[in-house]
Amino acid sequence: MREALPQRRYAEGFDLAFPRFTDKFYTVTIGCHPDGRLAEVFINAHTKVGSDGDLAARDVAILISMSLQHGATVEGLAHAMTHDASGKPEGLAGIVLAELVKWQALNRVERADV
């Protein structure tokens, strides 16, 4: 069952690069439940609205957000993504999820009292 989000919630953004396309940068914005758990993801591809890159980024964000709201963990999603021989994620979803795993680890203590 999908967990509803409050109308107003904590959000934070960061930029990341997609290594396969070195000139491609994305802005990722995350929203959290009141207790600090990740709840939603928005990805801005910095391309023309409706372009292939824009559509792919939005769809990745929707799938991650819905998965989180239905109880999936960031770690579980990140583990399921395609990785190269050295263990690094290869696709946009995997790169975003790897960053979310790092963000979550850094913010678990800081947001524990929220």
- Dihedral sign from CA coordinates of 26, 101, 92, 11: negative
Q: What DSSP state is assigned to residue 84?
A: -
Question: For residue 107, with 0-12 CB atoms within 10 Å meaning exposed, 13-18 middle and 19 or more buried, which class applies?
Answer: middle
pLDDT band at 21 (very low <50, low <70, confident <90, very high): low
Q: What is the pLDDT of residues 95-108, one digit of tens each?
A: 999 999 999 998 87
Q: What is the pLDDT of residues 75-97, one digit of tens each?
A: 999 999 999 999 999 999 999 99
pTM of the predicted model, to two decimals?
0.85
